[in-house]
Amino acid sequence: MEKTPKYRRVLLKVSGEALMGDQAFGIDGPTVERIASDIKEATLLGVQICLVVGGGNIFRGLSGAAKGIERATGDYMGMLATVMNALALQAVLERAGLTTRVQSAIPMRTVCEPYIRRRAIRHMEKGRAVVFAGGTGNPFFTTDTAAALRATEMGCDAMLKATQVDGVYSADPKIDPAAERYDKLSYHEVLTRDLKVMDASAISLSRENKIPIVVFSIKEKGMLSSVLIGQGRYTLISE
């Protein structure tokens, strides 16, 4: 099998939900280990990888707002949750044999590096996987938007959105068995059909900067590497 990667540098967006496994909250050890081994395998293809990690498995600003916590404060709590996930992912990635750095958009200098664009690029050039934490550092944004932003800043050839299903569907396939699956979509189609894959600002930012988005299932072992060599099942969102 031809194993030449299609991409030189990619950003992988891992949501908090992906780290949860079958649990209802938090971080599931075996799930994170499986994701880390997939990432390790992908780096062996020679692809430079950086990651944006979500925080929804621990805290979301909107759920805080429902409990009477001001939205912006809740959002900062959500951003702090992404730092916890990033540290967990870093620990497991390093156990899998990768060299990593965590950079947070909210400086936390005793815990991890602050986000410095040129430094992050240098880490990747040296073969380190960089995990971006803290989202964009601003309330009222999401880690999907942070992923589109960092992918652009890092000069990535693609943004890989790890989900629980094998691509983009017209409706949630877990709820609607008649949902249609797409192999390819344009940014415009995702926006006008209001497809729930990433929020509109993440899609717009990717469109403006011509970053293709590859949506695939992180639940399937080895799928990340398959996607990187242009095989496997995924939905490609591009112009």
Name the residues that contact ligand UDP, by CB under 6 A: 15-17, 54-56, 60-61, 74-75, 78-79, 81-82, 135-136, 138-139, 141-144, 146
Minimum gap (Å) between residue 106 Cβ and ligand UDP:
10
Minimum gap (Å) between residue 230 Cβ and ligand UDP:
26
Residue nearest to ligand UDP according to CB distances in the complex? 54
* Cβ proximity to ligand UDP, 5 vs 148, nearer residue: 148
* Cβ proximity to ligand UDP, 17 vs 28, nearer residue: 17
* Cβ proximity to ligand UDP, 198 vs 237, nearer residue: 198
Minimum gap (Å) between residue 53 Cβ and ligand UDP:
8
Minimum gap (Å) between residue 197 Cβ and ligand UDP:
12
* Cβ proximity to ligand UDP, 5 vs 120, nearer residue: 120
Q: What is the CA radius of gyration of the chain?
A: 17
* Cβ proximity to ligand UDP, 5 vs 103, nearer residue: 103
Count Cβ atoms within 10 A of the Cβ of residue 132 and give its class: 0-12 exposed, 13-18 middle, 19 or more buried. buried
In whole angstroms, what is the distance from residue 57 CA to residue 119 CA?
Answer: 29
In whole angstroms, what is the distance from residue 1 CA to residue 109 CA?
Answer: 45
Minimum gap (Å) between residue 74 Cβ and ligand UDP:
6
* Cβ proximity to ligand UDP, 14 vs 47, nearer residue: 14
Minimum gap (Å) between residue 63 Cβ and ligand UDP:
8
Measured between alpha carbons, how far is residue 98 from residues 4, 94, 191 in Å? 21, 5, 37
